[in-house]
Amino acid sequence: MNTDALVAARELSPLIVRLRDETESKRNLAAPIVERLRAAGLCRLAVAEELLGSELPSDAALDVYETLAYADASVSWVAWNNSLPCLLGRFLAPAARAEIFAEPQWLHACSTRPTGRATVTADGYRVHGRWGIVSGCELAEWIQVLCVVEDENGEPRMLGPGVPELRFAYLRRGGCKILDTWHVGGLRGTGSQDVVVENVHVPRALTLFVAEPSTLEGPLGRVPIICSMAAGYGAQALGVAQSAVDTLVELTSTKAPPEGAPLRERPAVLADIGRHSAALEAARVYLHACAAQLWRTAVAGGPPALDEITAMWGAGLHAAEVAETAVDAAYAAGGINSLYTSCPLERAHRDLHAMRRHIVGQAMWFEDAGRVRLGAAPHHPLYAI
């Protein structure tokens, strides 16, 4: 297993912690953190080695995301968001993929909201629209956006009744206008601003549709994309929750409230520590087992089985749910300390609840997992991509 990325994440963590306040106040990652992320390639875990990426196995990437999230969820969130445009790059022609991922220093951002339009031209598309919550967009060299395809008359092209044709397009950041809209509590440092594009021409080679065949050899060209994103999401949630539980352990060891028994003598607090420590570790083991199985299947050359994908969805979403429960319990047990921004419990609570609003963490994926286990087909078209 390639451990260089994990070592780099661990070595970066003290700097991330020291610069938390700067990241928060800027509403974007502090510059020294970005510099180290670039140098270590921690935003290129899902880029092929031939393009100077890490090509990290899925389960190994989870350790990196969890480590970064333990230090600051905003940092892990930006690194994790970079992986989606990297993974989707499998649907590009090799020359286009090489162009977009040519420089190891480049970062990438993306939006999966189909709030833009791509009007067909003779040699590509004219892209226009506005996309919200594009994490890390100000740091990125390339921004990937999702568009409804229109014909020359401005009418959406339909693949079937009520199903418009969608297409991702990669644009240089210079062709985008970034609006200062990210005024939030949780994940404040992610710089998840809105992006506006006004009639920018994009060659067809720099666009893709997820139903097209992969042009990338090796496991990165075969491992399922969206459930892998769910795994990274779950790993980050575990990192935030582990930070919260560890903070509670520290408080319990030292805090003596002015009234009542010390925390270390309160059975409910002790039980919470034991219960949630075990739950986080169990979720972590299952998450890694499912990710490792999917990677083994990809290495072997075969397409992943639907039950493997379903297990990965379940593991990622389960990890997030377990993490949320642990953070809420730690926050409650921390008492008045949990209110202060100087206490990691305060940040863990708002970051985790912001993370839980992401589309990859919603119940519809669990519902599709249930359909598959009943022998039916999933409803969401991206479930098995």
pLDDT at 3: 66
pLDDT at 44: 98
Mean of the per-residue pLDDT values for the chain?
Answer: 96
Mean pLDDT of the region 268-290: 97
Global confidence as pTM: 0.97
Q: What is the mean pLDDT of residues 234-258?
A: 93
> What is the pLDDT confidence band of residue 279, given thresholds at 50, 70 and 90?
very high
pLDDT digits (tens, 9 = 90+) for 166-175: 999 999 999 9
Query: pLDDT at position 271, please?
Result: 96
Give percent of the chain above pLDDT 90: 94
For 318-340, the pLDDT digits (tens) are 999 999 999 999 999 999 999 99
Instruction: Determine the pLDDT at residue 2.
Output: 53
pLDDT of residue 75: 98
pLDDT beyond 70 at 285 = yes
**pLDDT above 60: residue 1:** no
pLDDT in tens, 26-77: 999 999 999 999 999 999 999 999 999 999 999 999 999 999 999 999 999 9
> 367 falls in which pLDDT band (50, 70, 90)?
very high
Residue 17: half-sphere exposure toward Cβ, Cα within 13 Å: 15
CA atoms within 13 A on the CB side of 99: 12
